[in-house]
Amino acid sequence: MNRRRNAEQVRSPAPESVETTFTVNEVRTGKVTPGKGRDLWRRIVRSRHIYLMLLPVILFYIIYCYVPMYGIVIAWKEWRPKYGIWGSPWVGWENFETLFSQKLLPRAVKNTIIISLLKLVICFPLPILFALLINEIAGRKFKKTIQTFMYLPNFISWVILGGIVKILLAMDDGLINNIVAACGGERVSFLTDPNAFYFILILSEIWKGTGWGTIIYTASIAGIDPTLYEAAKIDGCSRGGIIFRITFPMIMPVCTVMFIMQLSNIMNAGFDSVYNLYNKNVYDTADILDTYIYRLFTESNGGNGYALSAAVGFFKSAINFVFLIAGNIITKKINGYSMFTID
């Protein structure tokens, strides 16, 4: 009997140690058992240095982004500086009625959407393309030089960049018009031509912002496992095949997040860029929501402009939020990637 019992003990496998694990959905939905919750807390404590590094960023957003959100109530008030935000009288939806009764509001909304879509269609893919091309450069020093020259315009303010563009395109002594005149052509007033404004604005955006976007995608490409490239070369894959079958699919999650973020800013056409390049002659194509409300505010010497500005901000945020959710759902269905999960 003892021999049989010992043989059964030898044949029976030893109980394996079960590691307590949990899924992201369980944590997000709160369906975590007490044991798994303790395991989550242990992992947080074990990685406490990483979470401490996130603390300054979290505090920054709480103090400067979320706390000031209470000021949105100005949109439903007749704001008076001497009474403050909470002491000013409520007016309900009166400010929104005043806003939507403005005759030039549809033009501002149309220009805002057109400029944002042009940036999305033209300016968004260019950093991805440049990052893919830079990744193919073999010379390290040459690659660093190209990257540096691309990044530099991002550190120039729109005030300076707008001045440079105006000097280059000036009708009397601008460099472009001097070249046109030297070739026997007539000087053109680019800055007062409504049809040329979109072209000038998009080129300026490409000049200033492409380098910054390239940094993000270049960093994403640098994180790809080099063994994937080596295996592809052994299998005889061409450079184009490596780009479209390895590099681009591997950075697709980053591209998806950046696309959703760009789409969620559809009502933010860029006040700085437009304001430093436009003038009265191009209002028909250049006047966006931000510049239009700013002009109303300055023409009324303050007045109820604070409340109207808050109403416009709420209006833009509501539309941007809709595009954020829609973009997240669409990208999830198309390529399986999304910025966040919606059940």
Mean pLDDT of the chain: 84
Q: Is residue 22 part of a domain?
A: no
Q: Is a pLDDT exceeding 90 seen at residue 11?
A: no
H runs (alpha helix) in 62-170: 84-87, 94-100, 105-118, 125-135, 140-151, 158-169
Check if the beta carbon of residue 245 is closer than 8 Å to that of residue 231: no
Predicted confidence at residue 237, as pLDDT, reads 87
Q: Report pLDDT digits (tens) over 260-282.
A: 999 999 999 989 999 999 889 99
- The token duo for 84 is 């403050």
Q: How far is the C-alpha of 202 from the C-alpha of 269, rounded, in Å?
A: 11
Q: Minimum mean pLDDT among 55-59, 63-67, 83-87, 149-153: which range?
A: 83-87
Helix, strand, coil tally for the chain in percent (to 5)? 75, 0, 25
Counting the structural domains of the chain, the total is 1
3-class secondary-structure state, position 144: helix
Does 2 map to a domain?
A: no
Q: Domain for residue 4, yes or no?
A: no
- On whether the CB atoms of residues 99 and 315 are closer than 8 A, the answer is yes
Q: Are 210 and 130 in contact (CB under 8 A)?
A: yes
| pLDDT(343) > 60 | no
What tokens were used for 76?
């439903």
Dihedral class, residue 303 (left if φ above 0, else alpha if ψ from -120 to 50, else beta) = left
204 half-sphere exposure, CB direction, 13 A CA radius: 29
Sorting pLDDT into bands at 50, 70 and 90, what band is 82?
Answer: confident
Residue type, 151: Y
CATH of the domain at 127: 1.10.3720.10
**pLDDT for 35:** 55
Residue 309's pLDDT band (cuts 50, 70, 90): confident
Domain encompassing residue 260: 93-335
83-92 mean pLDDT = 85
pLDDT at residue 321, rounded to an integer? 93
Establish if 243 belongs to a structural domain. Answer: yes
Does the residue 76 lie in any domain?
no
**pLDDT per position as a tens digit, 161-193:** 999 999 999 988 889 999 999 998 889 889 899
> pLDDT digit string (tens) for 217-253?
998 998 898 899 889 889 888 888 898 889 999 999 9
CA 238, CA 236: separation in Å to the nearest integer?
A: 6
Q: Please check whether residue 52 lies inside any domain of the structure.
A: no
For residues 102 and 242, give the distance between their C-alpha atoms in angstroms, rounded to a whole number. Answer: 54
> In the structure, what pLDDT confidence band is assigned to residue 60 with cuts at 50, 70 and 90?
very high
The answer to whether position 20 is within a domain reads no
The answer to whether the Cα torsion of 293, 299, 300, 302 is positive or negative is positive
Instruction: Tell me whether residue 175 is in a domain.
Output: yes
